[in-house]
Amino acid sequence: MPLYLPHFNLQDYNTLASPVFAHCFVSVHNEDELRDALLYAKKENLPLLILGGGSNIVLRDDFPGLVIHIQLFGKQIERDHADCVYVKAAAGENWQDLVEFCLDYHCWGLENLSLIPGTVGAAPIQNIGAYGVELKDVFSELTAINIQSGLPVTFTLDGCQFGYRDSIFKGALKDQYVITSVTLKLNKHPSVQTRYPALQQELAVYSADDITPQLISDCVCDIRRRKLPDPHDIPNVGSFFKNPLVSIAHLQRIQQTFADVVFYPVDDTQVKLPAGWLIERAGWKGVSEEGVAVHAHQALVLINPNRLRGDVVLQLADKIVASVQKTFGVELEQEPRVYP
């Protein structure tokens, strides 16, 4: 039976370092312990928080339920074919460890997703993405346990309904499954994705022949280390908002006042606006309020240097949302999930 710890401080378990307490906390190291914890929560009628690395959650206040910390480990090459390799990793594995494991095995596809914090099990929740690659591009299947029945289920690519920083686990199947493992289908032949300008600039000093997946990974890590605050030093949850999609007509209205608005075409009717640009132009870059701040180098990142509770961070987030709405008529959607 796993160890149930009452009144547990979660400050070291969320990258915003918010000092809130869980009514009860349990680490699960195998599926039997996970089932035990799910039964315990059901019996005691406790709300659940399934916790990975805590890098995409905002803990607003004390959590009045059971936090299940996913500590399922193990990763292996499942199948090695002529063109592709299937790699399976348990949900508690660190994402970057998996990226390095795959690079060492010379199977490619994860290089643009280097250095994203958190666990393997959380990666499908928001279909993690960076530098033009998303989890869905390399996803094969995942296993999960149904929270109500305790039964195992396998989800294929179609079943996950991946979208932009989105999946069925944030929508129709929200809070219904605990992901226990993820299997990726990786390429044996390198096919590098270099369309993001920041990556292109970083690669400009290399000749085309030198651009390998390992180099892409190294460059992505270098850019991220320079640009993003390390949560260990300056608590944060990465991008606080998703990049909004707006119609072409809306873009044209914004261009009447902001001719230099940055945008990326999505399809014939919509464009993506970088939320960081909107926040910066609305005047929030570097602004500090009540001890939390908008990062001075990347306006999409809110930082919590004083390690305050999530409610203070959310107050600043709300002001930014209202300001961007007023300035551009665009509704920003928050990326990290708020508890309770």
Task: Residue 186: name the closest of 257, 260, 103 by CA.
Answer: 103
Catalytic residues: 165, 239, 335
Residues 160-219 that bind ligand NAP (CB under 6 A): 195-198
Cα separation, 67 vs 279, in Å, equals: 33
Kindly state the number of chain residues that form the binding site for ligand FAD, as judged by CB under 6 A. 32
Q: Is 227 in the site for ligand NAP (CB under 6 A)?
A: yes
Residues 253-312 that bind ligand FAD (CB under 6 A): none
Which CA distances in Å does 60 have to 25, 75, 121, 311? 17, 33, 23, 4
Which listed residue (2, 53, 109, 276) binds ligand FAD by CB under 6 A?
53
Which listed residue (185, 239, 271, 310) binds ligand NAP by CB under 6 A?
239
Three-state DSSP string of 262-284: CCEECCCCEEECCHHHHHHHCCC
Cα separation, 228 vs 251, in Å, equals: 28
Select from ligand FAD, ligand NAP, none the partner in contact with residue 52, using the beta carbon and a kind-dependent cut-off of 5 to 8 Å. Answer: ligand FAD
Select from ligand FAD, ligand NAP, none the partner in contact with residue 57, using the beta carbon and a kind-dependent cut-off of 5 to 8 Å. Answer: ligand FAD
Q: What's CA 102's distance to the chain center, in Å?
A: 20
Q: Are strands 337-339 and 57-59 parallel, antiparallel or unpaired?
A: parallel
When the beta carbons of 81 and 232 are compared against ligand FAD, the nearer one is 232
x/- contact string, 7-36, with ligand FAD (CB under 6 A)? --------x---------------------
When the beta carbons of 64 and 329 are compared against ligand FAD, the nearer one is 64
Q: Segment contacting ligand FAD (CB under 6 A): 52-60, 279-287, 304-312, 326-334?
A: 52-60
The nearest distance, CB 22 to ligand NAP, in angstroms, is 24
When the beta carbons of 108 and 177 are compared against ligand FAD, the nearer one is 177
**C-beta separation of 246 from 274 below 8 A:** no
When the beta carbons of 6 and 197 are compared against ligand NAP, the nearer one is 197
Q: Which residues contact 77 (CB under 8 A, 6 or more apart)?
A: 85, 86, 87, 105
Cα separation, 323 vs 47, in Å, equals: 34
Cα separation, 252 vs 275, in Å, equals: 17
Q: Is 70 in the site for ligand FAD (CB under 6 A)?
A: yes
Which listed residue (2, 65, 109, 118) binds ligand FAD by CB under 6 A?
118
Segment 223-227 long-range contacts (CB within 8 Å, at least 24 positions apart): 223/198, 223/199, 224/114, 224/115, 225/115, 227/198, 227/297, 227/298
Q: Segment contacting ligand FAD (CB under 6 A): 31-39, 110-118, 147-155, 203-211?
A: 110-118
Select from ligand FAD, ligand NAP, none the partner in contact with residue 235, using the beta carbon and a kind-dependent cut-off of 5 to 8 Å. Answer: none
The nearest distance, CB 278 to ligand NAP, in angstroms, is 11
b (16+ CB within 10 A) / e for 202-222: bbeeeeeeeebbeebbebbee
Q: Where are the alpha helices (DSSP H) in 72-149?
A: 95-104
**C-beta separation of 38 from 145 below 8 A:** yes
Which listed residue (8, 13, 21, 131) binds ligand NAP by CB under 6 A?
131
**C-beta separation of 112 from 130 below 8 A:** yes
When the beta carbons of 49 and 300 are compared against ligand NAP, the nearer one is 300
Phi/psi for 170 (5° steps) reads: -105, -10
Which residues form the interface with ligand FAD (CB under 6 A)?
Answer: 15, 49-57, 70, 91, 116-119, 121-123, 125-126, 128-130, 178-179, 228, 231, 236-238, 337
Residues of this chain that interact with ligand NAP (CB under 6 A) are 129-131, 195-198, 227-228, 238-239, 243, 264, 272, 274, 276, 298, 300, 335
